[in-house]
Structure 1
């Protein structure tokens, strides 16, 4: 019987259902949290185990609710490494701090027969956090043939406490390293190593070892002395057991080179940094027989979401101990592990930049690398930080070998198998896989979970590039129609759906040429434009070198100020006249060579008008010279101003030259408190003034008559003063000239039948 190492299972002394499980540590037991401290060195992990009681029909098993020494990770194993548990495996624990029992966790069926020479089969381990109590139940359901495998045991792992080097634990999702690994020498030809007998079952001539019964102590081999760092790959790797699905590298094969990648290497927390105890896995690493990674297999560790980011190193140590100490693997199965915060951890030793043989994808370990995200992602996808780190690691590893993350590859099955979707194949079959695929594509497992699996198409795009979803989100230059305008300065903002850590940089393009280059974390850039019309876009460069360009926007740079082709001008208009509010019309005309934005009256009031407006009804104070100031603004921010000064003057009726009979009326409703009234046909009033606009002001009622209006001796209008409502100080007639000049306005009573009288308040003119 060949065995890589024997990790003895501890015995359980049960004192009834609520008894305390007392364990004998398998690698130098000690109190929880003591002896396992490390200051930048290896961290000791303790594994304790207890046998499960199987029912008479072999279709259920259980471990009653028990008190335990503290632990944080658990898993269930069985004697035959090749056996699969066709049953529901559940466990629950009692929190060390809360003292409360948690929910039942369902453990994923098995680890996937990852390593040849493995001593036991087992479920995926589950991180439960510091716990001091446990209960397990396994049921085969209604299947009559669904008997459980022999030798069921629960393993509880205390991952120890380590002084994690936080500076090395930078999330790959949020850090970019620009250096590329240099290539080493070429690999030497290799030959397959002789096959070795399986370590999991005894030879027919040997008696099978019995599982320790309850109350018995298991034996263990002395542990090798601990080392403090991961061994460096040597020029001549020792012969070591590797996954049964691929040929073994020869004992004299050289370490394969580390080719440069088209993608930068993300930050990776080394084994020494997460506290790997190298003494428990002393064998030399193995490498892919072909020396090339052809695909990346994505995993999750299952039932491990309830952990803090600071727990990442401990969780990795727990998985490491479970794979090595309980399953009998030579090392942790995954090449890389990623926590939910995006921190990447080195998995199996041998050099992260080398094609290290992992034990993660039964039948396809010989051509792939494995990345596992710590957590269960059946119903919820991993956080973006974790997905981004997986994309970065996958892109970097595939980039070392010229493999497209969005392509497909052909893998040779090292063993017959069936995947999650029911597809089966024989050993040696040539199968097509996406170059980044889920564990379920090559093995009958739910891994990496439905929600995570649904993210793989997007993850492939992130890893390969180009940058997706690149869109200009803001332009500092105001917009008119489809064109933006500025004097010269321009700031452009953008967004992309590809995470920034996968982006090498951005360029602001002006007329197709780079004007500004910024980092991949930037979301805006500024520049100054030359006068004229320009096409402006943003170009993103993925770390793979692929580029994408946003839709362009048109930006015009211009410095010509708007002009007033018609300066601000007043004209009298109809309406009620008061000494403080004479009705006037303000007129103007503003233009711009590019795009007018608005026109503002800044004095004597503050009003903004639309670019299409050329006039507005206003009022002015009589007897006061008032400046009417206006400013025109174009979209680029240029301005032009103009003004005009005008004085409305009220000429009372007493200042007119009279003919005929007129009587005086008094009322506070009249301008100045008095007015003239006449019903005598031909009676007239004449005013002489120098101005550019005039309005006749009257009182009106239902009995008011008509009058003729003469301007400079010429009859220009017949005005009817009749009104259904009584009105006072009503500017009923107006006249405006292009320029200011001397004019006369004469009103003559018509003598209308039945209503001959008219009442006048005077004349207003504008100078």
Structure 2
């Protein structure tokens, strides 16, 4: 019977609720249930809120069924603010076939989105055996919105009717900020016993949300379905005392060893029965690997009054199931706490679960969030994989990863959490285990499960391995091999990248003694316990995972240098060896540096020279450097180079040879180029003086008379003839110390001045005479001499 308008029914509902909570308080007090301030049941909190958590609201609107019950709609309408939505129905075991689509209006732009499908391969019985749970689609994060429209089409088949009680639920995650920094004082807080005020305290806003009338006897969206009225009947089952899934009967045969299920003698799984929560907190086992950073429930702003029931615990965790939350992956990571709050509200208020279903959630930036309360370091019973919740933990990646792969930050975070959780119970992330099915059904690949029978699973599995769902998405499912490898080790991609203090020739490094070895690995450093530098198989240096170089001092001889990486699992990887030779023998100069004049244009400030040398090393010569009067570096095979020097200036040419080990040797040569102009020559025959700024000293001698001659006497070790050249220039005979040594043609297609066109050098400095004689070449008899240059 419906009540008249007034406040009495609301007070009665509040009274009924409080009566139920009071009974829960009494039961929990007797059982010794512990409640932790800030984060219930968590003895290792990583973050907390510093203020009252944001208020999360869920609003429900019934969908209108079409003729025949194969379609349903919710017309476009304005709504209160929300950021997540989903569609639920009364029977948690029912499935919706066909297309379920929604569109929303952005609160920021006022624009409507395109129609977006909701995933329907979800089973409302995941929180199995619990009174009042509902079937549902996966929730969809849409961001701040204020308008919605929905439509469902079962596929046009008359026999496929939609389930009763269809409604659209919109979730407002609330406003405000939460802190992700935990004070040391808060982390050290001890648990305290539950009191009546803990569980009776209700936000004032809750009372304002209660209906002004008595609840109807049936669900208004499902006239034929049962209602879930508030009751004060002490015999009524409390939602917090039901198990997360049916407790299976024990099989009569041992677990299969061939990967095939063993049929029980009597395949009649027991009906769901009540199971009281643990009376005391189970131990928090230490893990074989480090704990990753985890943002606590208080850190993401959980309203603990929404789920006052005490957590239930497992005997341990044998496997981890990876999920995705479906919905939108285009969120920002700053929105992640709001998304987690919305999922929490959807699971509790829309689906009727006792708490958020997942044990952990990971956003696309790799931030890990605590899911179901009870303590991240304890085996909390979750509601994530129907039929296999009682021996596993669930990690959900926020977003959809059907086509798009998850970022490296995600696979890294999932692997860290899975490795840590399995490490508490001596699990192997790369290994397998057997899980007892808590319900009958089949998985995505068509494999059937029978309640009470043990089945093999990877210790890191995807949701689809245990249930007929696309979750965690095809792309993310394909990355589970990477997740297992990251979590289990060993370190991959380990290689030496550099050996500083040594030179490389082929595949061998050469050093005098001290080297710094640098390396890299493809495995993220968060999974690496340490690196070791090995010399001839012995560890000579150890570094943290964030340091990828180390130094060593090597004895003379040939050594095998390697790097060994230890994964957090204890598995080790050793890099390929680098051969390093330590030697201290200096290079030599088999041919000492020497200077000689060369051809080219002569200036008083730039006389063309050639510097020659030859260096060698017993191991490998690296390079030869000219250090003075200019700096140049030459390869090991180079033995000469062209330079210039100022006339009349004594210059020392210093060289240094380096081998690959860093050993060095030095050598030098000194020389002074001197210009002797034509006026310094002894002349015979007819010569005419010519003037031009293009000549050395502004003048030169020119002659076309046969046998006209010029001679110069000097003391040096190299000499060059300097002349002017043109297309009509003739030839001269060159005599050295009275002996004809060459006929030099001065003809040139282009006019050249001060051109050193003939040179001669000796091994040591001595007195020499150079004479030129005009040939009087037919048709071009004229020669123009500008002097000589000699090197002393």
Fold match (TM-score > 0.5): yes
Partner of 1:189: none
Kindly state the Cα deviation for residue 77 of structure 1 after the two structures are TM-superposed: 1.5
Kindly tell me: are residues 624 and 347 of structure 1, through their superposed partners in 2, closer, same or farther at Cα, counting changes over 3 Å? closer
Kindly tell me: are residues 521 and 62 of structure 1, through their superposed partners in 2, closer, same or farther at Cα, counting changes over 3 Å? farther
Partner of 1:347: 371
1:116 aligns with 2:136: no
Tell me the SS of whatever aligns to 2:526.
helix
Kindly tell me: are residues 27 and 405 of structure 1, through their superposed partners in 2, closer, same or farther at Cα, counting changes over 3 Å? farther
Instruction: After superposition, give the CA deviation of every residue in 1:705-744 in whole Å (9 maximum; x if it has no partner).
Output: 5636353x5x362535474658766555433222222334
Q: Is the 8 A contact 2:728 2:782 kept in 1?
A: no
Partner of 1:367: 391
Distance 1:376 1:744 in 2: 94
Kindly tell me: are residues 86 and 703 of structure 1, through their superposed partners in 2, closer, same or farther at Cα, counting changes over 3 Å? closer
Unaligned runs of 5+ residues in structure 2 are 1-9, 16-47, 188-215, 234-239, 250-272
1:502 aligns with 2:527: yes
Distance 2:180 2:677 in 1: 92
> Which of 694, 698, 710 in structure 1 is aligned with 2:719?
694
Distance 1:676 1:273 in 2: 100
Distance 2:782 2:311 in 1: 120
1:286 aligns with 2:312: yes
> Which of 210, 215, 219 in structure 2 is aligned with 1:211?
219
Q: Is the 8 A contact 1:706 1:721 kept in 2?
A: yes
Partner of 1:83: 94
Tell me the SS of whatever aligns to 2:379.
coil
> Which of 660, 664, 667 in structure 1 is aligned with 2:687?
664
Instruction: After superposition, give the CA deviation of every residue in 1:491-547 in whole Å (9 maximum; x if it has no partner).
Output: 55444332232222333444444444333234x334253464554443332221222
Distance 1:39 1:86 in 2: 45
Partner of 2:245: 243
Distance 2:673 2:460 in 1: 84
Instruction: After superposition, give the CA deviation of every residue in 1:33-58 in whole Å (9 maximum; x if it has no partner).
Output: xxxx9855666543332221111211
Q: Is the 8 A contact 1:27 1:223 kept in 2?
A: no
Distance 2:302 2:282 in 1: 23
Kindly state the Cα deviation for residue 299 of structure 1 after the two structures are TM-superposed: 0.8
Normalising by structure 2, what TM-score? 0.75
> Which of 285, 299, 309 in structure 2 is aligned with 1:259?
285
Distance 1:593 1:614 in 2: 18
Distance 1:133 1:27 in 2: 31
Kindly tell me: are residues 245 and 147 of structure 1, through their superposed partners in 2, closer, same or farther at Cα, counting changes over 3 Å? farther
**More divergent stretch after superposition (155-164 vs 433-442):** 155-164
Distance 1:603 1:739 in 2: 22
Distance 2:716 2:11 in 1: 115
Q: Is the 8 A contact 2:165 2:221 kept in 1?
A: no
Normalising by structure 1, what TM-score? 0.77
Q: How does 1:731-742 map to 2 (within 5 A)?
A: 731=756, 733-742=758-767
Unaligned runs of 5+ residues in structure 1 are 1-22, 29-36, 171-176, 178-207, 225-237
Provide the aligned length of Structure 1 versus Structure 2.
678
Q: Is the 8 A contact 2:700 2:784 kept in 1?
A: no
Kindly tell me: are residues 26 and 664 of structure 1, through their superposed partners in 2, closer, same or farther at Cα, counting changes over 3 Å? farther
Distance 1:579 1:25 in 2: 115
Kindly state the Cα deviation for residue 394 of structure 1 after the two structures are TM-superposed: 0.8
Q: How does 1:85-234 map to 2 (within 5 A)?
A: 85-112=96-123, 113-118=125-130, 119=132, 120-161=134-175, 164-168=178-182, 210-212=218-220, 221=230
> Which of 458, 481, 484 in structure 2 is aligned with 1:457?
481
Tell me the SS of whatever aligns to 1:541.
strand
Tell me the SS of whatever aligns to 2:169.
strand
Partner of 1:447: 471
Partner of 1:399: 423
1:517 aligns with 2:542: yes
Kindly tell me: are residues 679 and 292 of structure 1, through their superposed partners in 2, closer, same or farther at Cα, counting changes over 3 Å? same
Distance 2:397 2:220 in 1: 34
**More divergent stretch after superposition (426-435 vs 446-455):** 426-435
Kindly state the Cα deviation for residue 168 of structure 1 after the two structures are TM-superposed: 4.6
Q: Is the 8 A contact 1:334 1:372 kept in 2?
A: yes
